[in-house]
Amino acid sequence: MTADEILKISRVPRFSLRRRWRLALIGVGGIAQSAHLPAYRKGQQIGLPIEVVAAADVDEGQRERARRLWGIPAVYADFREMLERERPDVVDITLHWERHADAKLAAVQTAAEYGCHILLQKPMAATWEQCVAMVEAAKKAGVLLAVNQNARFAPTFFAARRLVEAGAIGKPFALLLRSDFPNRYPAMVHDFCVHTMDLLRWLMGETPTIEAAMAQRDDRFRWCVTFLARYPNGAVATAIDTTCTPFATGWR
């Protein structure tokens, strides 16, 4: 590929929605209000046909913020009642994978029964069995189930994937991936490293065997996980996720 051809490769995803989507959220806590609702708002501003019609949260304060700050017209304490009354096309489930594990599975199963397509926050679930149950519910209902592995759409990784797909760098045989994040969270390894695991698969291929090792300080806020992934074609990848460096540089 020439440099000009490489520069023409898009660094950002492009969407084209051919119909209007009525969307409802289940859970309007931290990530919903800091990332999802701002993104839907921006989408509306650039003309994407997505309308946030309702939200459900067991917490009254969160419901109130959803209504007052984000202008969501209908808020519910019970997601079942919301699904019954609002009949959205798609639900965005942002319940916490660990704290709300049972409710998250029930929300997926119920939304599928109502024929809603489903976007799930990562990590998909707390156990393999719950993941399988979610996939089965979606298959049975014939709805789409997507997990929000949003690191894929960070411009760096999106561009890297496009370059690989376009053959710009040949077939990759090695990948080095590193993330330095601030030590605000105590050992959120399962929660955070799922992004890294996803990127290892997405950029290099589907079936690596992965070895991982972790070290952490007593306060659990400082930790480091190293990964070694081997792929069937002989390629390798190494990744380090850490909160131990003084400057958080994000992903590199």
Ligand X SMILES: NC(=O)c1ccc[n+]([C@@H]2O[C@H](COP(=O)([O-])OP(=O)(O)OC[C@H]3O[C@@H](n4cnc5c(N)ncnc54)[C@H](O)[C@@H]3O)[C@@H](O)[C@H]2O)c1
> Closest CB to ligand X among 70 and 79?
79
Q: Give the residue at shortest CB distance from ligand X.
A: 29
- Number of neighbouring beta carbons within 10 Å of residue 164: 18
Strand duo 74-76 + 223-230: pairing: unpaired
* Single-letter amino acid code for the residue at 181: F
Q: For residue 166, what are its two tokens?
A: 């376009």
> Closest CB to ligand X among 121 and 227?
121
Q: Is 117 in the site for ligand X (CB under 6 A)?
A: no
Q: Is 64 in the site for ligand X (CB under 6 A)?
A: no
> Closest CB to ligand X among 223 and 231?
223
Among 67, 96, 152, 230, the residue binding ligand X under the rule CB under 6 A is 96
Among 162, 191, 230, 238, the residue binding ligand X under the rule CB under 6 A is 191
By rule CB under 6 A, what string of x and - marks binding of each residue 125-154 to ligand X? -----------------------x-x----
Query: Which 193-252 positions form the footprint of ligand X (CB under 6 A)?
Result: none
Q: Could you tell me how far CA 140 lies from the centroid of its own chain?
A: 23
Report helix, strand and coil shares of the chain as percent, to nearest 5: 40, 25, 35
Instruction: Determine contact, residues 195/227, Cβ cutoff 8 Å.
Output: no
Judged by CB under 6 A, the stretch of 1-9, 88-96, 152-160, 197-205 that binds ligand X is 88-96
* Single-letter amino acid code for the residue at 31: I
Among 148, 152, 34, smallest CA distance to 97 is for 148
> Closest CB to ligand X among 31 and 224?
31
How far is it, in rounded angstroms, from Cα 247 to Cα 252?
13
Judged by CB under 6 A, the stretch of 10-18, 22-30, 173-181, 207-215 that binds ligand X is 22-30
Residues paired with residue 165 on neighbouring β-strands, in sequence order: none
Instruction: Determine contact, residues 67/54, Cβ cutoff 8 Å.
Output: no
> Closest CB to ligand X among 100 and 117?
100
Which positions touch ligand X (CB under 6 A)?
26-32, 56-59, 62, 79, 94-97, 100, 103, 121-122, 148, 150, 191
